Structure 1
Amino acid sequence: MSALLEVSGVSVSFDGFRAINNLSFSIGAAELRAIIGPNGAGKTTFMDIVTGKTRPDEGTVRFGARPVSLLSLSEAQIARAGIGRKFQRPTVFEDQTVAENLTMALKAARGPFRVLFWKETQADRDRVAALAAEVGLGDQLARKSGELSHGQKQWLEIGMLLAQEPRLLLVDEPAAGMTLAEREHTTALLVDMAKTRAVVVVEHDMEFVRRLNCKVTVLHEGSVLAEGSLDHVTRNPDVIDVYLGR
């Protein structure tokens, strides 16, 4: 299986501190991957590099079936190329309904003039309904987003990212602050999404990672320390020492 995202030999330093150290990582086109590691392991910096927020000092980052270098693209170009990022705190338009949030996120050719004359079509409404159903908000379309629970806001934001039709989704600590039922729904949602796209989940919660039942990459001091199933990496003496033993 060829990789959708290929990160090779990437390093980056901030004020002499090496946040990412000769990191290599790859993920397939329809794969779910969890990234774990202690605070300061480089998880956020890794996502910053892939999305163009941070430029590495060395190494390559290539993306797509016909790989292009992400290091030559802006953040906006990387997003348009098919990489979406979900931050830990949900950012939805609270005064707008679920349907309005999803409509605003739809992937459409919207230049400055097209926005002025843009009119919602039946196809748009059908797509919004399908997105809402996919993330478990099919019965909440008319509800103001500010009235949703924390978990529902997270699902809405995932729906807004899916509206952009990403091929790679980076999701930061999706289970934080959720009820047990919300966590179970989130697990099912992420597993389902990874059937048709690459999904990288950065997470601290080992029980949540176990539920994902996917390959795990352990980062430590900006490098890959171990990789494999959760059982495999949690038996690794180095992982026990730096992460589980703390």
Structure 2
Amino acid sequence: MSTLLEVSGVSVSFDGFKAINNLSFQIGKAELRAVIGPNGAGKTTFMDIITGKTKPDEGRVIWGDRSISLLGMSEAKIAQEGVCRKFQKPTVFEDQSVRDNLMMALKRGRSVWDVLKYRPGADNARLEQLADEIGLLSEFSRPSGELSHGQKQWLEIGMLLAQDPQLLLVDEPAAGMTPAEREHTTNLLVEAAKTRAVVVVEHDMEFIRRLNCKVTVLHEGSVLAEGSLDHVTSNQEVIDVYLGR
């Protein structure tokens, strides 16, 4: 499997506190990965560095076939390169329909020529396909504010998929969901990872088990263990710093 993202020897400190400490991590082009760890392990800062929100003090973040560095790029440029992030709280346009939310997110040419030749309705097939993928085709014309918490999460994932990212970072997607919603979210993320890299930061071990993917455990800003869920949860250090709490 070819590498899409390689984080190598990355460290960052805030007021003397080392939030990330010589962290190395890599993920392939079509791979699903779960990232776990106790509060303060560096999970959020790790995502902040990849997306350009935080610049590390040292280390490298190398991206894609061209092996370019993400560290000199703005957040907007990194997003254009194909890195998308979903935060824990869903952010959708609640007055707009499911269709219109997906339409606003859809990746298309932004030049004057693209705008001039655009035909209303040209994207309908793609929008319906996206709505079907995320399980919201029956809610296609419904205002997003009327959706359940879980459905809003799916819509936001759909809005990110509409941008055709190469890497999708998802923060605690199962939080606040019903069991049925969590099952659908699992299927959605597993399916998305067939064509792109998906990193899921999550505390819910049952949800991670259903993802059935490689797990990276962070502790004090470094990788403590990596492997299958059974492998990392049998690691005594992981038990001591995380699972035993």
Name segments (4+ residues, structure 1) moved above 4 Å.
113-120
Q: In the alignment, which residue of structure 2 is the partner of 1:124?
A: 123
Tell me how far 1:116 sits from its aligned partner. 7.6
Matched, 1:51 2:65: no
Q: In the alignment, which residue of structure 2 is the partner of 1:61?
A: 61
Matches within 5 A, 1:20-169: 20-110=20-110, 119-169=118-168
Q: In the alignment, which residue of structure 2 is the partner of 1:193?
A: 192
Q: Give the CA RMSD over aligned residues.
A: 1.4
Tell me how far 1:110 sits from its aligned partner. 2.4
Aligned residue pairs total: 245
Structure 2 counterpart of 1:44, which letter? T
Instruction: Give the Cα–Cα distance (whole angstroms) in 2 for the partners of residues 214 and 138 of structure 1.
Output: 28
Matched, 1:240 2:243: no
How high is the sequence identity, in percent, across the aligned residues? 75
Tell me how far 1:66 sits from its aligned partner. 1.8
Deviations 1:100-149 (A, max 9, x none): 000000112225x6798685544311111111111111111100000000
Instruction: Give the Cα–Cα distance (whole angstroms) in 2 for the partners of residues 35 and 147 of structure 1.
Output: 31
Tell me how far 1:178 sits from its aligned partner. 0.2
Equivalent position SS for 2:56? coil
Structure 2 counterpart of 1:169, which letter? L
Instruction: Give the Cα–Cα distance (whole angstroms) in 1 for the partners of residues 242 and 114 of structure 2.
Output: 49
Structure 2's unaligned 5+ residue stretches are none
TM-score using structure 1 length: 0.97
Instruction: Give the Cα–Cα distance (whole angstroms) in 2 for the partners of residues 85 and 104 of structure 1.
Output: 17
Tell me how far 1:67 sits from its aligned partner. 1.4
TM-score using structure 2 length: 0.97
Tell me how far 1:11 sits from its aligned partner. 0.1
Q: In the alignment, which residue of structure 2 is the partner of 1:8?
A: 8
